[in-house]
Amino acid sequence: MLNATHDFCTIPMPDEHYGLNDYSKGMPRWCPGCGGHSILTSVQRVCKDLQYPPEKTVAVSGIGCSSRFPHYMGTYGFHGLHGRAFPVACGIKFRRPDLNVFAITGDGDCCSIGAGHWVHAVRYNMKMVALLFDNGIYGLTKKQTSPTSPLGTHSNTHPEGSILPPINPLQTTLGISNASFVAQTTDWNVAHLYATIRKAAEHPGFAFVRIVQRCPAFMRDLYADLSGNPENLIYLKSENGINLEPNAQRKFERVIEHNPLNINKAREHAEISDGIPIGLLYQNTENPRYDTYGAHNLGMNATDKKQGIRELLDHYTIKNNNS
């Protein structure tokens, strides 16, 4: 903490200033080279740059490699049940709209057992950052086919290669009513990763970010090819999108001009199969948000709420007219 003033210093200083260490905790247990490391660092940097008070910040997760995330944040955290990051995060946000919420999920967690919660969390559009760590495999349980595994993935559940086409998390999210922010990035482009999470944190609603994440332990070949070839990345360029410094932009060989207000074009770009489009696919800051209807935002205190519950219970009481 820095002191506000000094006798000979006229530069205004904040009463409190949080450094990166304030958002860090423990030693991540992810494998060396796992994409989780750079995502964690980027979230911590965003928290620092936006000066989120650690005691007003919470990371919520389900189950999977990615879901160890809250253990490494020096903030509040909730390591929940498989597929249940979103309902817990929504409950927290509804009750405590003053908190900065990060919902952390993986492809197995979100797109399989948690898919129903994913749909409704997008529709509720409560303000939070939702990060899908998509490595295309169940890593924690050592290599089973996940809903986003590319067709033909050899795994312990499909030794001969997976037989169903994968879910496209971008297409799915863009198809849910009231979706308000859909972006994609990769763990190995750290400048773009940071800029994407920062843009998501500033969005007034549910900001869904799919992060194409490397899993060197179980998907080494696939991700070595993706990350080793710059032609695989397609930079979505827009005045109101996710923008990098000109020098950082220059390394992208494939660039598409895209207006993130255009949901039909966003759906087209989400379908691109000969590369990974990165950037802001869609944003609408006007969509209704369910968290603004919570008791807190309606200005109700504890007494008001008790009174309201009593009135409702009276309303639904079945009265015996003979007594």
Written as six digits, the tokens of 120 are 């409704």
**Rounded Cα gap, residues 146 and 314, in angstroms:** 49
The residue among 30 and 181 lying less far from ligand SF4, judged by its C-beta, is: 30
Closer of 36 and 205 to ligand SF4 (Cβ): 36
Q: CB nearer to ligand SF4: give 79 or 296.
A: 79
Task: List, in sequence order, every beta strand (DSSP E) within 48-127.
Answer: 57-61, 76-79, 100-106
Place of tokens 């109101």: 240
**Shortest Å distance, C-beta 59 to ligand SF4:** 17
Shortest Å distance, C-beta 67 to ligand SF4: 10
227/229 Cα distance (integer angstroms):
6
Q: Find the shortest distance in angstroms from Cβ 244 to ligand SF4.
A: 26
Tell me how far, at minimum, the Cβ of 319 lies from ligand SF4, in Å: 59
Report how far residue 59's alpha carbon sits from residue 204's, in angstroms, rounded to the nearest whole number.
18
The H or E element that residue 186 is part of is strand 181-186
Are the C-beta atoms of 56 and 211 separated by less than 8 Å? no
- In the complex, the smallest distance separating the C-beta of residue 222 from ligand SF4, rounded to whole angstroms, is 12
218 or 252: whose CB is closer to ligand SF4?
A: 218
Side chain identity at residue 288, one-letter code: P
Residue whose CB is less far from ligand SF4, 30 or 52: 30
| Minimum distance, C-beta of residue 112 to ligand SF4, in the bound complex (Å) | 16
Question: What is the C-alpha to C-alpha distance for residues 168 and 148, in angstroms, rounded to an integer?
Answer: 7
Q: Which is nearer to ligand SF4, 100 or 146 (CB)?
A: 146
Strand order across the 100-106 sheet: 76-79, 57-61, 100-106, 128-134, 206-212, 181-186, 276-283, 233-237, 254-257
Give the shortest CB-318-to-ligand SF4 separation in angstroms.
Answer: 55
Contact 35, 215 (CB under 8 A): yes
User: Which is closer to ligand SF4, CB of 216 or CB of 294?
Assistant: 216
**In which element (H, E) is residue 121 found?**
helix 115-124
Please, which residue, 210 or 289, has the CB nearer to ligand SF4? 210
Q: Which residues make up the interface to ligand SF4 (CB under 6 A)?
A: 30-31, 34, 36, 65, 135, 139, 215-218
Q: Are 237 and 257 in contact (CB under 8 A)?
A: yes
Min. distance of Cβ 30 from ligand SF4 in angstroms? Answer: 4
DSSP assignment string, 249-279:
HTT-SEEEE--TT-HHHHHHHHT--SSEEEE
- Cβ atoms of 93 and 291 within 8 Å: the answer is yes
